[in-house]
Amino acid sequence: MLTHRVVTFALLLWAKNICATGHPNEVASQRSISASNATAFAVTYGYPLTQYAATFDSLLASNGSNTLYHDRTTASASSAAIVRPNVDTLYSKAAIDLSHYDVALTIPSVDDNRFYVFPFYDLWSNNFANLGALNSTLPGKYLLKFVGASERVGFESPPSNSEYLGIINFPTVYGLIFPRVLLRNNSSTELDAVHTIQDQMELEEIPRRTGRIAPKLSAELFGNGSISPLAAKSSAAFDLNEITNLLKVVARFTPHNPPAEKREAQVVQQKLEKAGLDNGHYTPPHGLNFTIIQKEMYAEILSITNFLQNFNNDWIDFLPRYSGNFLNQYGVRSYIAYTGYLQLVQYESLYPEYEPGFVLSKNQSYVLTFPSGKPPVINAGFWSLTVYNTSSYLVQNPLNRYSLGDRSNLTYPDGDLIYGEDISDRNDAFSILLQSADVPPPANWTSNWLPTPAGGGNFTVNLRFYGPTQDLTAGGSYIYPVVAKQSSV
Ligand SMILES: *[C@@H]1O[C@H](CO)[C@@H](O)[C@H](O)[C@H]1NC(C)=O
Ligand SMILES: *[C@@H]1O[C@H](CO)[C@@H](O)[C@H](O)[C@H]1NC(C)=O
Ligand SMILES: *[C@@H]1O[C@H](CO)[C@@H](O)[C@H](O)[C@H]1NC(C)=O
Ligand SMILES: *[C@@H]1O[C@H](CO)[C@@H](O)[C@H](O)[C@H]1NC(C)=O
Ligand SMILES: *[C@@H]1O[C@H](CO)[C@@H](O)[C@H](O)[C@H]1NC(C)=O
Ligand SMILES: *[C@@H]1O[C@H](CO)[C@@H](O)[C@H](O)[C@H]1NC(C)=O
Ligand SMILES: *[C@@H]1O[C@H](CO)[C@@H](O)[C@H](O)[C@H]1NC(C)=O
Ligand SMILES: *[C@@H]1O[C@H](CO)[C@@H](O)[C@H](O)[C@H]1NC(C)=O
Ligand SMILES: *[C@@H]1O[C@H](CO)[C@@H](O)[C@H](O)[C@H]1NC(C)=O
Ligand SMILES: *[C@@H]1O[C@H](CO)[C@@H](O)[C@H](O)[C@H]1NC(C)=O
Ligand SMILES: *[C@@H]1O[C@H](CO)[C@@H](O)[C@H](O)[C@H]1NC(C)=O
Ligand SMILES: *[C@@H]1O[C@H](CO)[C@@H](O)[C@H](O)[C@H]1NC(C)=O
C-alpha cells in the first residue's frame, strides 16, 4: 500500500473538519451499530451534494437551471473565491435539469490547438463523458437526455436523420456541465477570443413526449441553503444536526439519481434504506450513535490511500479508474469533492501530487528539475505548475505570477527560451525554482522562478497535464521532476 503524506495531511485536515476521530471502547447494540454504519456510508455517499449546492444554490435561486454562466477572468491572489483555482482556463458552468425537458447544447467552433473540454457530470460529481479538443468534437448541437442507471450512460451516436451530432445520456435526472477553454495569456485580444467562444455556447430546453419525470431542480430541493461543504468552517465538524440536514437532501434526490454503475444501484439502495432514506424522505433510525458514525466515516476516508498510483520520483495520483469518474469508490469521491470538486477523468488531465510535500524556511528554496524536458502533452494540450498557500489560494507576489508552464517564458540554463514561435525541437532538461515571494533570485532565474509564500512555511503545488500522452502515465517513459531542497539563491 502506498502511503502519501500530502494526501494524508489533506485527509487529516478533512477528517478533522468533517468528523472528529472517535476512539470507542465500549460495545453498543448491534442494531445501533449497523444503523450508524449505514449513516456513515450515506454521508460519504451524499457529500458531493454539499459542493453542488455551494456551486449552484444562488444561481438556481436567481436564474434557474439549464442556463450558462461564464467566468470572464482567471483567479488571482486577491480573488480568493474558489480553492485551488487554475489560471490556465476560463470556466463556464450550468446546472443541468432533465426533469421536464431534454436539453440541447451548442458547442461552438474553437480554433485549432486551443484546448477546451465540455465535461458532463452526474449529480454525484462523476465525470461520465467529455467532448472537446481531445475528441476532435465537431461544433454544433448535442442532445442531453436522462437514461438512468444503464449501459447507455455516456456518448451515443445519433440516428442518421437527427439534427444532433450526438447524444449524451445522463444517469441522473440532474447533473451539470463545466466547460473550460484554454486562455493562453492575459492579453485583451486573448481574453476577447475566449469570451467570444463562451458567448457562442448555448443551452436550450427541448420538449419531449415523456414530459415531467421529477420535480424541477431548485435551491429548495437542496434544503434552502441548509447544507455546506464545511471547507471554510475550520472549527466546525459534521454534527448530528448537519448530518440530518444533508441526509434529508440526499433522500430527496435519491429516487431519480441512481449510481451510474447499474450493478451498484441495489447495494446503494439497501444501505441508504438502512440509514433511514426511503422514498424521498429521511427518518433518522432509532439509537444512532454519533461516535460510531464518526469512526466509520474516518475509516472510509482513510481507506482511500489504497487507490493511489505512483508515477516516478515520488509524484503520485489516484488510479485512473477512480479519477474523475469514481465508480463505487465513494470515499475517494467525497475526498475529491472536498479538495478539488469536478475533477476530470485522466484521459483529459492528470494532476500529479508530490508525495513528501513542501515546506521552506525563508532562506531555503526548491529546485524542480525536469530531466526529460518538456512534458509530452498532445497538440492542443498544455501543462502548468501552480503554487498554493495552506488555505489553497494563490500566493501574493511582486510578479503576479501564479504558475509556470508551456505558455511562460521558461528558459534553458543557457538562457534560450523553451517555448515560443521559432523554437526548434530542442528538448533538454530545465529547472523551476520555488522560492519565497520576498526573496527574489538573481536575474538569470527570474523567468523560471515560481514564488512561494513570503517568509517561508508550508505550501502545496499542483502539476497539471491537460491532454497527457501515454508517456506521462504511470509506467510511461517521462521522468517526473526531481525535487531538491537547497539554500535560497
Ligand atoms: C456509542 O458507541 C460507543 C462505542 O461503541 C460507546 O462507547 C458509547 O457508549 C455509545 N453511546 C451511546 C449513547 O450509546
Ligand atoms: C460496522 O463497520 C465496521 C467497520 O467496517 C465493521 O467492523 C462492523 O462489523 C460493522 N458493523 C455492522 C453491524 O455492520
Ligand atoms: C440572471 O438573469 C438576469 C435577468 O434575466 C440577467 O440580467 C443576469 O445577467 C443573469 N445572471 C447571470 C449570472 O447570468
Ligand atoms: C490578468 O489580468 C487581470 C487584470 O489586469 C489581473 O487582475 C489578473 O491578476 C491577471 N491574471 C494573471 C493570471 O496574471
Ligand atoms: C492565502 O492567500 C490568500 C490570498 O492571497 C490570503 O487571503 C490568505 O490569508 C492566505 N492564507 C495563508 C494561510 O497565508
Ligand atoms: C473521447 O476520447 C476519449 C479518449 O480517447 C475516449 O475514451 C472517449 O470515449 C471519447 N468520448 C467520446 C464522446 O467520443
Ligand atoms: C497572447 O497570446 C496570443 C495568441 O496566442 C499571441 O498572439 C500574443 O502574442 C500573446 N500575447 C502576449 C503578451 O504574450
Ligand atoms: C424552503 O423555503 C420555503 C420558503 O421559505 C419553504 O416553503 C420550504 O418548505 C423550504 N423547504 C425546505 C426543503 O426546507
Ligand atoms: C536559515 O534560517 C533558519 C531559521 O529560519 C536558521 O536556523 C538557519 O541557520 C538559516 N540558514 C542559513 C544558511 O542562513
Ligand atoms: C514573455 O516575454 C514577452 C517579451 O518580453 C512578454 O511580452 C510576455 O508578456 C512574457 N510572457 C509571460 C507569460 O510572462
Ligand atoms: C544562473 O547563474 C548561476 C551562476 O552562474 C548558475 O549556477 C545557475 O544555474 C543559473 N541559473 C539558471 C536558471 O540558468
Ligand atoms: C507544515 O506541515 C507539517 C505537516 O506536514 C506540520 O507538522 C508543520 O507544523 C507545518 N509547518 C508550518 C510552518 O506550518
Distance from the CA of 53 to the center of ligand 2, in angstroms? 31
Q: Average pLDDT over the chain, rounded to whole?
A: 90
Confidence of residue 287 (pLDDT cuts 50, 70, 90): confident
300 has a pLDDT exceeding 60: yes
Q: Whose CA is nearest to atom 3 of ligand 5?
A: 393
Q: Which ligand is nearest to the CA of 26?
A: 1
> Which three cell numbers, joined as nine digits, stand for 419?
517555448
Q: Whose CA is nearest to atom 13 of ligand 2?
A: 34
Q: Whose CA is nearest to atom 7 of ligand 4?
A: 76
Q: Which ligand is nearest to the CA of 120?
A: 6
Mean pLDDT throughout 403-415? 95
Residue from 346, 347, 349, 470 whose mutation best tests the ligand 6 pocket (most atoms within 8 A of CB):
347
E-only strand ranges, 115-156:
116-122, 127-132, 140-146, 154-156
Mean pLDDT throughout 448-475? 95
74 has a pLDDT exceeding 80: yes
33 has a pLDDT exceeding 80: no
Mean pLDDT throughout 290-301? 85
Interatomic CA distance for residues 80 and 90, integer angstroms: 16
Whole-number Cα distances in Å, 264 to 123, 146, 174, 259, 349? 16, 18, 18, 6, 26
Q: Which ligand is nearest to the CA of 232?
A: 5
Backbone torsions φ then ψ of 225, nearest 5 degrees: 80, 20
- What is the number of the ligand 7 atom nearest to the C-alpha of 184? 2
Distance from the CA of 161 to the center of ligand 6, in angstroms? 23
Mean pLDDT throughout 228-239? 58
Mean pLDDT throughout 320-333? 93
Residue from 74, 111, 181, 189 whose mutation best tests the ligand 7 pocket (most atoms within 8 A of CB):
189
pLDDT at 13: 52
Distance from the CA of 337 to the center of ligand 2, in angstroms? 25
CB atoms within 10 A of CB 197: 22
Whether 129 and 113 have beta carbons less than 8 Å apart is answered as no
Domain map (residue ranges) of the chain: 9-50+222-305, 65-206, 357-487
Does domain 357-487 sit in CATH 2.60.120.1600? yes
CB-ligand 2 contact for 193 (6 Å cutoff): no
CA angle centred on 406, ends 428 and 192, rounded to 5°: 160
Distance from the CA of 221 to the center of ligand 8, in angstroms? 9
Confidence of residue 263 (pLDDT cuts 50, 70, 90): confident
pLDDT at 106: 98
DSSP 8-state assignment for residue 306: G
Whether 353 and 316 have beta carbons less than 8 Å apart is answered as yes
> Which three cell numbers, joined as nine digits, stand for 9?
495531511
Q: What lines the ligand 11 site, CB under 6 Å?
A: 413, 444-445, 448
Confidence of residue 303 (pLDDT cuts 50, 70, 90): confident
pLDDT at 81: 66
CB atoms within 10 A of CB 251: 21
Distance from the CA of 434 to the center of ligand 9, in angstroms? 17
Between residues 349 and 4, the one the model is more confident about: 349
DSSP 205-248: EE--TT---SPPP-TTTTTTT-----SS-TT----HHHHHHHHH
Task: Report the predicted TM-score, pTM, of the whole model to 2 decimal places.
Answer: 0.91
> Which three cell numbers, joined as nine digits, stand for 199?
458567448
Q: What lines the ligand 12 site, CB under 6 Å?
A: 9, 357, 359, 457-458
Q: Which ligand is nearest to the CA of 67?
A: 3
pLDDT at 289: 87
